[in-house]
Amino acid sequence: MSPVPAVTAFKQAVEQSDGLLFVSPEYNRSIPGALKNAIDWGSRPWGQNSFARKPTGIIGASVGAIGTAVMQSSMRSVLSFLDAPQLNAPEAYITFKPEIYGEDGSVKDPSTEKFLRHYMDEYAAFVERVLSATLPGHMGDSDPDTMH
């Protein structure tokens, strides 16, 4: 049984990307169900994990004081299993305050803008480092000779 076209398109988009930045809220102290479902589809079937070796970053905002810290912890566990390298520092736990953002989504607060710019600079550098060091092969490849 082949996957539905939406799954095939999603897997291709992931595979064609240089890196993946997950920007997510926290639902019930975890990953939102729709995001986790998409990740599960993209990692299957065995041997066709679209996330393997893709440099990843995680960021999110929540009205709670700890931002999305618990969701990010859950996401790190999932991404580790999927062999997706992760930017571990700087961490980005954003407490959402409406007055910080414009109606168009722009960041009005200078310190928040500076922090987010720094995060994105670090993420871009991380993607470049991972891509320059990536070797072929990972757990789940159908050809064991390509695994390192």
What CATH number does the domain containing 27 carry?
3.40.50.360
Q: Which residues pair with 101 in a beta bridge?
A: 107
Q: What's the whole-number average pLDDT of the chain?
A: 89
Tokens 């004081």 correspond to 65
Tell me the per-residue pLDDT of 84-119, one tens digit each, with 9 for 90 and over: 999 999 999 988 889 999 999 899 999 999 999 999
| Cis peptide preceding 45, ω within 30 of 0 | yes
The answer to whether position 45 is within a domain reads yes
Domain count of the chain?
1
Question: Does some domain include residue 69?
Answer: yes
**Does residue 61 fall inside a structural domain?**
yes
Determine the number of helices (DSSP H) and then strands (DSSP E) in the chain: 4, 3
- Give me the domain span that covers residue 51: 17-136
> pLDDT tens digits, residue range 46-71?
889 999 999 999 999 888 888 899 99
Whether 143 shows a pLDDT value over 90: the answer reads no
0.95 exceeded by pTM: no
